[in-house]
Protein backbone atom coordinates (compact mmCIF):
# COMPACT_ATOMS: atom_id res chain seq x y z
CA UNK A 1 0.00 0.00 0.00
CA UNK A 2 2.87 2.37 0.81
CA UNK A 3 4.48 1.69 -2.58
CA UNK A 4 1.23 2.59 -4.33
CA UNK A 5 0.96 5.96 -2.55
CA UNK A 6 4.65 6.68 -3.01
CA UNK A 7 4.60 5.92 -6.74
CA UNK A 8 1.38 7.91 -7.25
CA UNK A 9 2.85 10.88 -5.38
CA UNK A 10 6.08 10.67 -7.35
CA UNK A 11 4.21 10.61 -10.66
CA UNK A 12 2.02 13.52 -9.53
CA UNK A 13 5.06 15.53 -8.49
CA UNK A 14 6.73 14.84 -11.83
CA UNK A 15 3.66 16.03 -13.72
CA UNK A 16 3.34 19.09 -11.46
CA UNK A 17 6.93 20.04 -12.29
CA UNK A 18 6.74 19.20 -16.00
CA UNK A 19 3.60 21.21 -16.80
CA UNK A 20 5.01 24.67 -15.92
CA UNK A 21 8.27 23.90 -17.73
CA UNK A 22 6.42 22.80 -20.87
CA UNK A 23 4.12 25.84 -20.67
CA UNK A 24 7.01 28.28 -20.28
CA UNK A 25 8.70 26.89 -23.39
CA UNK A 26 5.53 27.21 -25.46
CA UNK A 27 4.76 30.86 -24.59
CA UNK A 28 6.35 33.68 -26.59
CA UNK A 29 8.10 36.15 -24.28
CA UNK A 30 6.85 39.74 -24.30
CA UNK A 31 10.32 41.12 -24.95
CA UNK A 32 10.44 39.39 -28.32
CA UNK A 33 7.29 41.12 -29.52
CA UNK A 34 8.07 44.63 -28.23
CA UNK A 35 11.66 44.67 -29.52
CA UNK A 36 10.44 44.80 -33.11
CA UNK A 37 8.69 48.13 -32.40
CA UNK A 38 11.99 49.96 -31.76
CA UNK A 39 13.23 51.98 -34.72
CA UNK A 40 17.03 52.41 -34.47
CA UNK A 41 17.13 55.26 -37.01
CA UNK A 42 14.56 57.29 -35.08
CA UNK A 43 16.37 56.59 -31.81
CA UNK A 44 19.68 57.82 -33.23
CA UNK A 45 18.06 60.96 -34.64
CA UNK A 46 16.33 61.94 -31.39
CA UNK A 47 19.17 61.08 -28.99
CA UNK A 48 21.18 64.30 -28.68
CA UNK A 49 23.65 63.41 -25.90
CA UNK A 50 27.14 62.37 -26.98
CA UNK A 51 27.98 58.77 -26.32
CA UNK A 52 31.07 57.54 -24.47
CA UNK A 53 32.38 55.91 -27.63
CA UNK A 54 32.39 59.27 -29.40
CA UNK A 55 34.84 60.66 -26.83
CA UNK A 56 37.37 57.81 -26.91
CA UNK A 57 40.29 60.12 -27.71
CA UNK A 58 39.72 62.08 -24.47
CA UNK A 59 41.01 59.12 -22.45
24-58 pLDDT, tens digit each: 877 766 555 555 577 777 877 787 776 666 666 66
- Give the pTM: 0.41
Q: Quote the domain boundaries for residue 7.
A: 2-58
pLDDT at position 45: 79
What's the whole-number mean pLDDT along residues 6-17?
91
Q: How many domains, in total, are found in the chain?
A: 1
∠37-38-44 over CA atoms, to 5°? 155
Amino acid sequence: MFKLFFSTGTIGLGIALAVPIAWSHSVTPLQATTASLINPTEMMATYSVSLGVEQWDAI
